[in-house]
Amino acid sequence: MMLKDQKTSIIEANRTHETDTGSPEVQVAILTERIKVELTTCRDVVATGRYPYTGRLGVLRGEDQRIVDEAMEIVHALELAERDFNAISDGQRQRVLLARAIAQQPEMILLDEPTSFLDVRHKLDLLTILTRMARKKNITVIMSLHEIDLAEKVADRILTVKGDTQFGFGAPGEVFEEQAIRKLYDIEDGYFDPLFGSIELKKPAGDTPEVFVLAGAGTGISVYRKLQRENVPFATGVLYENDVDYRLARLLAAETVSVPAFAAPDDAVYEKAFETMCRCGRILLAGDAARTPNAPLLARAKTAGLAVLDAKTEGWTLCKECFTP
């Protein structure tokens, strides 16, 4: 914790007039001073956020103590109050430092890569705290992030930068458009799906599908990704164009047989799908065909003696022995 004489020397070096103890110059100097964390509790660290308001003696008043407690409660860090700051996890440390910023009662908080080095759980915790705090305390939060999927989910406005130039600005739905992201990051291999905020690797090499995936209603996603990892070009269908499977199939499949949302597949669509199945020779059944438009296709494939493998079987592979007519 900062000693009285340390604080006094900082004030004297940065004050703008003789009695100055709280100008912006002094506050910045105090709050950016490196904290010696040996044997310093988390509460001590949060309390440093009140230093610019304590006068020369650096003594926290009752009101300052209340503000420190409230800041720790907002970020769910009260249970850490007496813990050694140097002995807590990265995620916990982020919460404590955020509480220190809140204790200053700012109108704006600027955060540089706050989710760096955090696991998924602590990223979710931190972002949940930030969004709740912004609304409850009416604080503007400005963050720099490289994780565009997170930015898309938490931000009201997004500014993208390419090099040293502003590239885009607006609501997430306006900025995170598929082609705009490709240009922003110069993406040549792979894809970004703005609807789900997900990044997909390049589709399997080759334009001739080796296997046909009967999918729909989300059952095909894990199968598509497994085929992509194994670099096996595939076809899929029949999919409604509002189906989540279709969102991924359009990026990874060599061929996709689809129909507009809520439109019943006609004979021409089924014929196209069956012809594609025959060219592939092998069929992966990703889900329950009876719950998709594909029940007639599956029945026709079995009648024609095409090789079918249930992809719901754990550990399935594309070996010929795994397919049964």
> Does 161 reside within a domain?
no
**232-235 long-range Cβ contacts below 8 angstroms, 24+ apart:** 232/204, 232/318, 233/203, 233/204, 233/205, 233/206, 233/207, 233/208, 233/209, 234/204, 234/209, 234/210, 234/280, 234/284, 235/209, 235/211, 235/276, 235/277, 235/280
**φ, ψ at 125 (rounded to 5°):** -60, -50
Q: What is the pLDDT of residue 173?
A: 84
Which domain CATH number covers 32? 3.40.50.300
Structure tokens at 92: 């916990």
122 has a pLDDT exceeding 60: yes
CATH assignment at residue 231? 3.40.50.720
Tens digit of pLDDT for each residue in 231-280?
999 999 899 999 999 999 998 999 999 999 989 999 999 999 999 999 99
Instruction: From 53, 85, 107, give the residue that closes a domain.
Output: 107
Kindly state whether residue 194 falls inside one of the protein's structural domains.
no
> How many folded domains does the chain comprise?
2
Contact 42, 34 (CB under 8 A): no
Residue at a domain's end among 92, 107, 122: 107
Residue 121 belongs to some domain of the structure: no
Last residue of a domain, one of 80, 107, 134: 107
Name the residue range of residue 276's domain.
211-322
308 in the Ramachandran plot: left (φ > 0), alpha (ψ -120 to 50) or beta? beta
What letter would DSSP give residue 49? G
In a domain, 41, yes or no: yes
Stated pTM of the model:
0.65
117 part of a folded domain = no
pLDDT of residue 32: 46
Q: What is the pLDDT of residues 52-101, one digit of tens each?
A: 887 666 778 889 999 999 999 988 899 999 999 989 988 888 889 989 99
Asked whether 296 and 271 are in contact (CB, 8 A), the reply is no
